[in-house]
Amino acid sequence: MHILVLNSGSSSIKFQLRDDAVLLCKGLIERIGEPRGAIRISASNGNKIDKEMQLPDHTVALQHLLEVLVSPDLGALHSLSDIDAVGHRVVHGGEDYSDSVLVDEDVIQSIERLSSLAPLHNPPNLKGILACREIMPGVPQVAVFDTAFHATMPPVAYMYPLPRELYLKYKIRRYGFHGTSHRYVHGRAAILSGFAGKPSKIITAHLGNGCSITAIKDGKAIDTSMGFTPLEGLVMGTRSGDIDASLPCFLHDQGIQPKDFRNIFQKKSGLLGLSGGLSNDMRVLLEKYDTHPDARLAVDVFCYRLKKYIGSYSAALGGLDVLVFTGGIGENADAVRALTCVGLEFLGVQIDSQRNQEGSRREALISTDAGRVKVFVIPTDEERVIAQETQRLTENRGARKKSFNNQSLINHRERH
Ligand code: ADP
């Protein structure tokens, strides 16, 4: 099956075209709604297309993408009628969705309603869905939610100790995010460690620009560090993670306005804030680790807090069998993995320093053979999960009448 995977942001769309497990091409549409937009796409056959053009909205951007996908210069797709389904990353499924879902009118309305819980993410995700519905009518679409993998969390993990009416009235509770990534690397780790289908206690740490950690018992998420929003939990590139909830009130008393809180806690904190504005990029901070005290502090706080979460999640799981590192930092930064794991020997975590140094950017076991806990680096692949989910929910629908083809796109363009 040919599946188009879309991750629609407010001014960008990341995309992949896959044929079952095979990646045909991938790329990025940038600067939608700005004066000069761009489409960058590279096919697995080595062809690349890099075009600048005006992209006033998501519908026009998708239209250009489809034209590029069937262009002979790319050679990725013969006809648009070969696209069997579209899979969308949708950030927030709230309490409504514990699984991926085939998109229909009700689902569209639910995603719109859930925008109050994820105002920065769900509206652009929805724009991608609506653009596909307009340009590719009849092509089935599937929504894969970032929150869904965490739907198995029990109330003891997802309830905040706040007045109960806040949950009843506003659905204020912990939801968790990055679920598609945690699900993928957990699945790979279970296979690699021999725990697939068996009782297991696995912790997955997704460390990218956003960072989260999940405790998974017997294949089910039982706790995760992001909460009502993706701000809670670990130190991130520019997000604070856990802080004292009274800080906004204190800052307000000092004359800082609520409209500035988002900027402070989401954009100026985390590694960037700790390093005194030096960088939110772990590569830069690691390069300066020995020479710049603020860079060192930022990395140390990052690893210290991560270590504490591993300890507390081991307690929640009642032990630990497997620990996984993924995301840009988790996959690449052996120093972060080493600093985090040192001191966890009491849990059975023993890093083999040579395996750790050589174990970046690919699936690798980085623990010693004597260590009781298997520690893995596993590159994440959220798009693969979205494609698999899309296939699962659409392949048994019977033969679709392929009314959408190259001519449909020309007709749509002429009508608008
Ligand atoms: P996103 O969360 O936006 O998907 P990524 O998962 O790609 O981001 O992670 C981005 C982060 O990964 C960067 O901020 C950078 O700090 C880190 N990173 C990437 N490569 C390396 C590296 N070689 N060493 C250390 N950190 C790295």
pLDDT value at residue 400: 56
In-domain check, residue 292 = yes
Same domain, 342 and 405: no
pLDDT value at residue 404: 75
Same domain, 244 and 344: yes
In-domain check, residue 265 = yes
pLDDT value at residue 411: 76
Most distant CA pair in the chain, distance = 68
Same domain, 327 and 228: yes
In-domain check, residue 293 = yes
In-domain check, residue 386 = no
Distance (angstroms) between ligand 1 centre and the Cα of 208 equals: 5
Is the distance from CB of 323 to CB of 200 less than 8 angstroms? Answer: no
CA 227 to chain centre: 14
| Cross-strand partners of 10 | none
- State which ligand 1 atom lies nearest to the alpha carbon of 327: 6
Same domain, 206 and 350: yes
Distance (angstroms) between ligand 1 centre and the Cα of 3 equals: 27
Same domain, 105 and 18: yes
Same domain, 219 and 285: yes
pLDDT digits over 163-190, tens only? Answer: 999 999 999 999 999 999 999 999 999 9
pLDDT value at residue 402: 62
Residue count (the chain)? 416
In-domain check, residue 182 = no
Same domain, 219 and 131: no
Q: What residues make up the domain containing 261?
A: 194-377
Residues of the chain with pLDDT under 70: 397-403, 416
Same domain, 74 and 18: yes
Nearest CA to ligand 1 atom 12: 328
How far, CA to CA in Å, does 121 sit from each of 237, 347, 400? 18, 37, 31
| Cross-strand partners of 70 | none
- Radius of gyration over alpha carbons of the chain, in Å? 22
User: Is 281 near ligand 1, meaning CB less than 6 Å away?
Assistant: yes
Q: Which of 149, 121, 382, 100 is nearest to 231 (CA)?
A: 121
CA–CA–CA angle 162, 168, 174 (5° rounding): 55
Same domain, 202 and 292: yes
Same domain, 410 and 340: no
Same domain, 227 and 105: no
In-domain check, residue 391 = no
Counted domains in the chain? 2
Residue type at position 279: S
User: Is 238 near ligand 1, meaning CB less than 6 Å away?
Assistant: no
In-domain check, residue 157 = no
- State which ligand 1 atom lies nearest to the alpha carbon of 286: 25
In-domain check, residue 218 = yes
Same domain, 344 and 221: yes
Distance (angstroms) between ligand 1 centre and the Cα of 340 equals: 17
Is the distance from CB of 193 to CB of 376 less than 8 angstroms? Answer: yes
Nearest CA to ligand 1 atom 7: 328
pLDDT value at residue 401: 52
pTM: 0.93
CATH of the domain at 304: 3.30.420.40
